[in-house]
Each structure stands twice: as structure tokens, then as C-alpha cells.
A = this chain, B = another copy of it.
Amino acid sequence: MIAFEDLPAGKIIPLGDLVVDREDMLDFARKFDPQPFHLDDEAAKNSIFGSVAASGWYTASLWMRRWVDTVLSDSTSQGSPGGRELSWLAPVYPGDKLTFEAEVLNARRSKSRPTLGLVEFEGRAKRDDQVVYRFIATGMFSTRS
């Protein structure tokens, strides 16, 4: 089980990759972000995206699923209070192959609760060498000792 002690500053954690599925992407947009440029190519043609592009929240949710599967699902995670920087750096399109990773920026024990650790990390989704999404967030993890 992954605990606070396993997430030191500097650690880079590969989270795998996936190809963006058009139907799944559109399902998300219909439900949570039904802007025309997230729903159909015709409407997107005249937008800044040029063709139908993922909702940024879909990309964030894809990243989250990879983080859960690789780290949180077998960890001492106690949730997250949020993050301080979230960037959608480039549009994401159906068929894009995204690679996901996380990098621990810093890790410290809570002063008020010494059995709890605060891990600040940067989550990233890349297409080839281009970062298309990043989020600097804090995760709370129980310590092993």
C-alpha cells in the first residue's frame, strides 16, 4: 500500500496512456460541457479549435482515473483539498494518444496531525512531448508510522 513515505519530492510516477475515444468524449460533453465546439465538428470548424475538441474537464477526469488506478486505489489517501494551478495548454482531439504522469513537488508532514502527510504534485497529460494539461494539487496521505 502506498503511504506518505512512498511519495518523496522529485518522484515521477508514470500513469500510462490512452487514446481519446470520440464517443466517450462526446458523452461527457453532452452531460457536463455542451458547448458547440465540444459537441460537433461543424460547429467547431469556426471556433478556435478547428474541429471538435475535448472539454477540459474531460481531460482532467481522464487524468484522475489514471491517478486513482495507479496510486490512490491502493494507498492511504485521505482526499484532496484542491490545487493551486490548473492549465489546459492545448486542445485535445478524438484519437489523440495521451500519456499521463505525476511528479511530486514537495512532501511534508502536517504539523497539527503528524500521522498525516501533505503531498504536492504536478499531474500532467502529454501528447508526444507537448504537455496539454497540468494541475498542481495537494494530496493528503496517512503516514506509515
Which residues of B lie under 8 Å from residue A82 when comparing CB positions? Answer: 56, 85-89
| A83 near B80: Cβ-Cβ < 8 Å | no
Given the interface contacts A33-B64, A68-B33, does A84 sit within 8 Å of B81 by beta carbon?
no
Selected A-B contacts with CB under 8 Å, 30 pairs = A31-B61, A31-B65, A32-B61, A32-B64, A32-B65, A33-B64, A34-B65, A34-B68, A35-B72, A35-B77, A47-B79, A48-B78, A49-B79, A55-B64, A56-B79, A56-B80, A56-B82, A57-B60, A60-B60, A61-B61, A79-B88, A81-B88, A81-B89, A82-B85, A82-B86, A82-B88, A83-B85, A84-B86, A86-B135, A86-B137
Q: Which 9 A-B pairs have the closest CB atoms?
A: A82-B87, A32-B61, A82-B86, A32-B65, A83-B86, A82-B88, A57-B61, A48-B78, A33-B64
